[in-house]
Amino acid sequence: MKTNALCLIAVALMLSQCKPPAVLPAVSTQSSSSSAVILFPSKPKLKEPNISIEWISPTATDIVIGEIGGKVVVKVRIKSGQPIDLSQIDIYVNNAQVGNKADEVGLLKRPEFSDQILTFQVPVTQGRNAVQVVVTSDEDKRFYAERVLNKSTSGVRMEPAAVTGNTRVVWIQPDAITLGGQMFTTKSKELEIRLNITSPEPIKKENIQLLFNRQYRAPSPAGELIGSNGTYAFKDVVTLSEQADINEIGLKIFTGSGSVESERLKVNYSPYRPNLYLLSIGTQLNLKYTTKDARDFAAAFSTQGKGMNRLFNTVRVDTLLGGAAVTNEIRGAIETIKSKLRTGVITEDDVVMLFISSHGFLDDNGDLRIQGNDYAPERRISTSVSYKDDILFHLQSLRCKIILFVDACHSGGARANAADVWDALLQMKNSPKGFAIMTSSSQSEESYEDVRWQNGAFTEALIAGLKGKADNNANGIITLNELESYVKREVPNMVKTVKGKPQHPGLSRNDLGDLPLFIFK
């Protein structure tokens, strides 16, 4: 389902029956004589930046390393085929970044360079400290030098190869450094993985097992192992599972002396789907089913973010029902929709639904207002929300698809000319493209609820349509056009049979096409 640069706001304004208007894979604390990472050429093949990091001190022959204020002086030599500067260098201890950049931990400040010995201070704590010097090229490729410093009461030592010279595995892609311990999220079903392997023993592809969701298996036929002399680079493509809440991926290396595993990377596979944000509002006042209407509408969508066969990645449902649906809460909840889009919580691709069931009336200026649950006739302005200023103003500023399902003209409600209310609801001249309003009734009509439906007729038909009765092509997906067709056909029959009255829902739209709304199978 594509909603490019648009966000569906299905505002079911049922204003009582009225006229329509990644885990950072911790670097193994085992040392290696290798420093620079071997990178795979991309396609098309680009010129490699040719960066190397030579660890100068401390070395394995240093017995005790003096501390300076809890820090160890480290020297590396960085050589590059292209000029680099300090902003491209990061220092990590036990996978935690020490400061934002290398110069924040005491790196001597120099201009751009291509061959330079650099000195900096690394904070160490009791026990093992896996130290990484990371250089990021202009092509956004990362090169590493890694050593393990072991702090004890006698000082700080770099563990010699005899102690930690076993095989170790470091994640390169997804980049463990960038993830910083967070889960990796992707919309692509195929995930390319890259890991660096250092080992004093020769490693072959048949020595490698891929861990995927608790099952070990051989790498794919397309998997590659490149390298020699103790330093290797492994690349493969993993097909992610949508059925698993979280995909877990790791690598296991078998050697003559045993086996070693990488840290397990957690991947959230989230295929392209918008998120759904539903705000369902129902005031009680002197109506019996408006609150239930809002509750039932919210419940219908609450399961739409579950299972593999779904339209929405996640579904967030908020409700304001009965006593909670006071004027200020309604106003604030609608403002929050706009705020969430501005801050990125809701994106332009997402779907936002707003459902309101209440009474509507016209003020002295002819503007439509929606009663809050705290409505008082003597304070009718302060206890109602303006349809134009409090609802449309915020919704029309969003660069998204906006749908309002409006039921504002319930029978027995405020005394207002139903035709005027209907006209106010359908004012589309200032609406952005992708804006639509579905109303519960037509001009000069009222909306009805009844004990036999246990809902308003409009809501009853909406929910029945969403749950399958509107599925004209029997594909298990309810679209906006299908829902409109069903509701327009069903509501008049329901109301005429039970009430002997006319009620004809309507839909007005501004350049909004047919949209998938609901999966019921």
- Residue 237: CATH number of its domain: 2.60.40.10
Is the separation of the CB atoms in 107 and 135 below 8 Å? no
In a domain, 98, yes or no: yes
Together in a domain, 370 and 442: yes
Together in a domain, 155 and 47: yes
Query: If DSSP codes are grouped into helix, strand and coil, which group holds residue 266?
Result: strand
In a domain, 113, yes or no: yes
Together in a domain, 126 and 188: no
In a domain, 268, yes or no: no
CATH classification at residue 280: 3.40.50.1460
What per-residue confidence (pLDDT) applies to 332? 93
User: Could you tell me where the DSSP H helices lie in 99-175?
Assistant: 161-164
With b meaning 16 or more CB within 10 Å and e meaning fewer, what string describes 352-382? bbbbbbbbbbbeeeeebbbbbbbbeeeeeee
Together in a domain, 477 and 458: yes
Instruction: Give the Cα separation of 388 and 160 in Å (integer).
Output: 73
Query: If DSSP codes are grouped into helix, strand and coil, which group holds residue 366?
Result: coil
Q: Is the dihedral of CA 335, 341, 344, 350 positive or negative?
A: positive
Together in a domain, 333 and 430: yes
What per-residue confidence (pLDDT) applies to 294? 94
Backbone torsion region of residue 505, taken as left when φ is above 0, otherwise alpha when ψ lies between -120 and 50, otherwise beta: beta
User: Could you tell me where the DSSP H helices lie in 361-426?
Assistant: 393-396, 418-425
- Burial of 109 by CB count in 10 Å (0-12 exposed, 13-18 middle, 19+ buried)? exposed
In a domain, 445, yes or no: yes
Together in a domain, 156 and 170: no
Instruction: Give the Cα separation of 407 and 174 in Å (integer).
Output: 49
Is the separation of the CB atoms in 34 and 198 below 8 Å? yes
Together in a domain, 140 and 44: yes
What per-residue confidence (pLDDT) applies to 100? 47
Instruction: Give the Cα separation of 389 and 268 in Å (integer).
Output: 40
User: Tokens 């704590």 identify what position?
Assistant: 125
In a domain, 287, yes or no: yes
What per-residue confidence (pLDDT) applies to 405? 87
Together in a domain, 158 and 80: yes
Does the pTM exceed 0.85?
Answer: no
User: In total, how many domains does the chain have?
Assistant: 3
Token pair for 298: 């919210």
- Give the single-character DSSP code of 410: B
What per-residue confidence (pLDDT) applies to 34? 34
Instruction: Give the Cα separation of 351 and 67 in Å (integer).
Output: 57
Together in a domain, 256 and 357: no
In a domain, 1, yes or no: no
Among 263, 282, 307, the domain boundary falls at 263
Q: pLDDT below 70 — which residues of the chain? A: 1-50, 59-69, 99-113, 139-142, 144, 158-166, 176-182, 244-245, 257, 271-272, 306-309, 343-344, 409-433, 443
Together in a domain, 157 and 97: yes
- Give the single-character DSSP code of 58: S
Among 232, 263, 294, the domain boundary falls at 263
- CA atoms lying within 13 Å on the CB side of residue 281: 35
Compute the radius of gyration of the chain from its Cα atoms. 32
What per-residue confidence (pLDDT) applies to 28? 35
Range of the domain at 213: 166-263
Relative orientation angle of helices 457-464 and 480-499, to the nearest 10 degrees: 140
Among 130, 163, 196, the domain boundary falls at 163
Count the neighbouring beta carbons within 10 Å of the beta carbon of residue 65: 18
Together in a domain, 210 and 314: no
282 forms beta bridges with 321, 357
What per-residue confidence (pLDDT) applies to 18? 46
In a domain, 150, yes or no: yes
In a domain, 3, yes or no: no
Together in a domain, 313 and 456: yes
